[in-house]
Structure 1
Amino acid sequence: MQPDCSCPLCGQPIGELPVTILPERGMVVANGKFAILTGHEVLLLQRLAEVFPRVLSKEAALEWLYQFSAEGEEPEIKIIDVYICKARKKLDQIGVRIDTLWGKGYALGVDRKPVIVREAA
């Protein structure tokens, strides 16, 4: 549930805001709250937001997270489940879901496409 907010300039009610991901800070903002994620967790959430509303397979997630790893350094696919589990615990507290689609992968359980805010280097 979105908190009641109004525009500070005109006083009109502001509609529901999308989930906002700040990858450089490892932060996710939703429903007037925020969560801090680890590097891999926020990268995985970022990828889920990029493919929203489609499903991200575990294989695609693993390949994307470790695309720059040296040959032979790619971990087991089960690590994706671990990252998802840890991220879910943090995201549940701010009302953001990661849904499991058995045999297919993961998808964000939000109403609108999340916004990814990049910070200038």
Structure 2
Amino acid sequence: MQLECACPVCGQEISDLPVTILPERGMVVANGKFAVLTGSESLLLQRLAEVFPRVLTKEAALEWMYQFAAEGEEPEIKIIDVYICKARKKLEPIGVRIDTVWGKGYALALDRKPVIVREAA
């Protein structure tokens, strides 16, 4: 079911809105609903959106998320699977799916590129 809403200016029905990610707030808006993610889940989803429609490997995700970590403080690669699992549980109710591409990594299963909205500092 695709939720429709109206433009606040002209009142025209708006449907098929893109998935919107607000990384600073840890929020994802889709189909007229929203989900709140932790900082790490939000970072990972942001990166998946940036590389969309390509596949994000676990290694690339780990390197990107912990690029400023001190040598030896980088967690095990399995943590990416944990973040994906937790994010999936929060995103499923709003209709956003993260697919596993076996032997490669993860990708967003969307019709079009999500919008990332950055807040001004």
TM-score calculated relative to the size of structure 2 = 0.96
CA distance in 2, matches of 1:84, 1:14: 30
The answer for unaligned runs of 5 or more in structure 1 is none
Q: What does residue range 47-62 of structure 1 map to in structure 2 within 5 Å?
A: 47-62=47-62
Q: Give distance in 1, aligned partners of 2:64 and 2:9.
A: 42
Query: Match for 1:105: what amino acid?
Result: G
What residue number does 1:71 align with?
A: 71
Q: Kindly state the Cα deviation for residue 12 of structure 1 after the two structures are TM-superposed.
A: 2.6
What root-mean-square deviation, in Å, do the aligned CA atoms of Structure 1 and Structure 2 show? Answer: 1.0
- Distance between the aligned counterparts of 2:84 and 2:24, measured in 1? 19
Match of 1:120 in 2: 120
What is the Cα deviation at residue 9 of structure 1? 3.1
How far apart in 1 are the matches of 2:22 and 2:4?
A: 23
Shift of residue 58, structure 1, vs aligned partner: 0.3
For 2:87 and 2:30, locate their aligned partners in 1 and report how far apart those are by CA, in whole Å. 14
Q: What is the number of equivalent residue pairs in this alignment?
A: 121
Report the equivalent of 1:101: 101
Q: Shift of the alpha carbon at 1:109?
A: 0.6
Task: Please give the residue correspondences for 1:12-91 in structure 2 after superposition, counting only pairs within 5 Å.
Answer: 12-91=12-91
Q: Is the 8 A contact 2:53 2:108 kept in 1?
A: yes
Task: State the one-letter code of the partner of 2:77.
Answer: I
2:80 match: secondary structure: helix
Deviations 1:7-47 (A, max 9, x none): 23333321310000001100000000000000000000000
Give deviations 1:24-80, integer Å, cap 9, x for gaps: 100000000000000000000000000000000000000000000000001100000
Structure 1 Cα separation of the partners of residues 81 and 26 of structure 2: 19
Counterpart Cα distance in 2 of 1:5 and 1:34: 14
Residue 2 of structure 1: CA displacement?
Answer: 2.4
Alignment gaps of 5+ in structure 2:
none
Q: Note the C-alpha offset of 1:93.
A: 1.0
